[in-house]
């Protein structure tokens, strides 16, 4: 992969990481607001909302790990290679999901096995 393309992916990943960080930070503020929301709000509704927030946070946290992983691969010069078979990941695929770890074939294989 050429350096220009690599720099582009790095930029995309860095931006994505920043936007997730912002989202997670604003979520924390929302949680604090719920805590001080007073007694009149139904507590059952509160806990459901909070669970949903945790779940969403979980997805973001996982994506953060994948993005960090991808950024580390850029540093190590292994970005764009499938972590399972070592083949090059299709560029179109990387453009859609730059933090993807596997090529199409291995991803499909992994999804099949997880079902
Ligand atoms: Zn593969």
> C-alpha angle with apex 100: 98 to 105, nearest 5 degrees?
125
> Cα separations (Å) of 113 from 29, 82, 101, 107, 109?
39, 17, 16, 10, 6
Question: What is the distance in A from the centroid of ligand 1 to the CA of 91?
Answer: 14
Phi, psi of 88 (to 5 degrees): -70, 135
What is the value of pTM for the model shown? 0.72
Question: What is the distance in A from the centroid of ligand 1 to the CA of 115?
Answer: 19
The position carrying tokens 């509704």 is 45
Question: What is the distance in A from the centroid of ligand 1 to the CA of 113?
Answer: 14
Question: What is the secondary structure of 84-99 as a DSSP string?
Answer: TT-PBPPHHHHHH-TT
Question: Can you give the pLDDT of all 115 residues of the chain as single tens digits?
Answer: 889 999 999 999 999 999 999 988 887 777 676 665 555 556 666 666 666 655 666 888 889 999 999 999 999 999 999 999 999 999 999 999 999 999 999 999 999 988 7
In the prediction, which pLDDT does 85 show?
A: 97
- Domains in the chain (CATH in brackets) are 3-114 (1.20.120.910)
CA-wise closest residue to 73 among 15, 13, 4: 13
Question: What is the distance in A from the centroid of ligand 1 to the CA of 16?
Answer: 24
């Amino acid at each position: 992969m050429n350096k220009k393309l690599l720099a582009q992916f790095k930029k995309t990943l860095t931006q994505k990481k920043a936007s997730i960080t912002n989202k997670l930070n604003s979520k924390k503020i929302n949680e604090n607001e719920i805590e001080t929301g007073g007694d009149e709000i139904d507590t059952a509704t509160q806990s459901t909302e909070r669970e949903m927030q945790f779940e969403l946070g979980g997805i973001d946290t996982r994506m953060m790990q994948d993005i960090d992983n991808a950024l580390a691969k850029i540093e190590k010069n292994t970005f764009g290679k499938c972590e399972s078979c070592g083949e090059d990941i299709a560029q179109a695929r990387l453009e859609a999901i730059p933090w993807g770890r596997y090529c199409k074939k291995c991803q499909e294989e992994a999804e099949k096995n997880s079902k």
